[in-house]
Amino acid sequence: MDANNPNLRVLVIDDNLSIHEDFRKILQAKAGEESFDEARTALFGDPSLPKESEQFELDCADQGQAGLTMVQLARSEGRPYAMAFVDMRMPPGWDGLETIERLWEEDAELQVVICTAYSDQPWDEVTKRIGRNDKLLILQKPFNSIEVSQLATAFCRKWGLAREVAGQLDKLNRKVDERTAELRGANEQLTQSNAVLVQTVADLEIAQSEILLKNDELERLASRDPLTGCLNRRAFFSQFETALNESREHGIELSCLMVDIDNFKRINDQFGHAVGDQAIQAIANCLSTGLRLMDIIGRYGGEEFCVMFPRTKLAEAAVLAERLRIRVATEAGVRMRMASRLAITVSCGISSTMHGARVPLALIDQADKALYAAKEGGRNCVMALDPIIDGANASDQAKPQVRRITPQVLSPQASR
């Protein structure tokens, strides 16, 4: 059955034999019956059926069991029905729904029109039992002859189109199988090429790891002072600004320490710049090893260092600064390779964000003022910038005041 020989086989299953005749008159109308149609139109107002080019092959059964037998026979002969009109009520045998279920078990492609009065069984009950399906329609009794003819024509053509689509799909499946075999062969070649690519990727990953190590080294060199290994001024300021912003946003105190080597010019003049460089390295090592993990140190100038104490109050920072000063005084000279046992000390000034500094330079400037006071106070000591209240009330304006952290000892005073 193809486009030149469409399937026009129709099955009617109804226990009323007069209904069989009605379907024959509608689907197998002949020219000699035109007078009957005209009389029917005059009596019942049913319009004459237009002449159809299709000549349906109609078979009838009076019970569902008989209809199922006819469907089985048609399929075994290779001449299946395209559609069936099934009555809803057919006592004493199967009703329409059971008949449809049995028919679809035998021929899933069979399209069905249920002939029923609304009172027989509501549509929602029908769909609840056999589901919504594009192969199922309802024809209300009493039905119109034109509706019957249109349903038969449409369903038969739909059956043919479905068969045509199935044939096309079968051709496509065969082409897909052929193409799959070709692709399988190509895939084997790609697998071999992929093995080569995997090795290439592995080599590239090794090269990339080496590049990353080199980049890390370059980044370290770009951010570190070559003499001491501490952060250079640019990198230190970048981290200082980030920490200061965090301190301001969360209301956490941050402290800053300025460190200057005492009498460094005299060391250079007396022992030379090579010894001066060793002194800077020894002090940087003492400071770095004495810091906490979260603290940050940078080389600020020639003989000056700046230390940042994040999340640290001024009182705690003052204790840390005094420990660093003592470490330098006791260990820096021992670390010297040249001019061994050279006495090396540092002066320190410390301040914190409690004074209101909002940028690194402002906080460093405050710590530098305390450092200047340490120099003026005899060197080798720590001075802190503390706030004092100007006035009798606590609400009066606060002004900074330098306070000595290092215990006072009797020693000759030296000027800066």
pLDDT band at 127 (very low <50, low <70, confident <90, very high): confident
Residue 392 has pLDDT above 80, yes or no: no
Instruction: Indicate the pTM of the whole model.
Output: 0.50
Domains within the chain, CATH numbers bracketed: 9-166 (3.40.50.2300), 233-404 (3.30.70.270)
**100/83 Cα distance (integer angstroms):** 11
Question: Which pLDDT value is given to residue 116?
Answer: 84
Question: Which pLDDT value is given to residue 373?
Answer: 95
Mean pLDDT of the chain: 86
Averaged pLDDT for residues 4-19: 90
Question: Which pLDDT value is given to residue 32?
Answer: 44
Question: Which pLDDT value is given to residue 144?
Answer: 87
Question: Which pLDDT value is given to residue 211?
Answer: 84
Range name among 31-45, 114-128, 265-279 with the lowest pLDDT average: 31-45
| Higher-pLDDT residue of 231, 338 | 231
Residue 25 has pLDDT above 60, yes or no: yes
Residue 199 has pLDDT above 80, yes or no: yes
- 256-288 pLDDT per residue, tens: 999 999 999 999 999 999 999 999 999 999 999
Question: Which pLDDT value is given to residue 45?
Answer: 60
- 159-174 pLDDT per residue, tens: 989 888 888 898 999 9
Question: Which pLDDT value is given to residue 414?
Answer: 46
Main-chain phi, psi angles of 216, to 5 degrees: -60, -40
Residue 343 has pLDDT above 60, yes or no: yes
Residue 148 has pLDDT above 80, yes or no: yes
The segment with the largest mean pLDDT, out of 46-55, 130-139, 176-185, is: 176-185
Cα–Cα distances (Å) from 298 to 103, 228, 231, 242, in that order, read 90, 9, 4, 15
Q: What percent of the chain has pLDDT over 70?
A: 86
**61/44 Cα distance (integer angstroms):** 27
pLDDT band at 31 (very low <50, low <70, confident <90, very high): very low
* Residue 298 · residue 235 · CB < 8 Å: yes
Question: Which pLDDT value is given to residue 138?
Answer: 86
Question: Which pLDDT value is given to residue 415?
Answer: 43
Question: Which pLDDT value is given to residue 53?
Answer: 52
- 394-408 pLDDT per residue, tens: 444 556 789 999 998
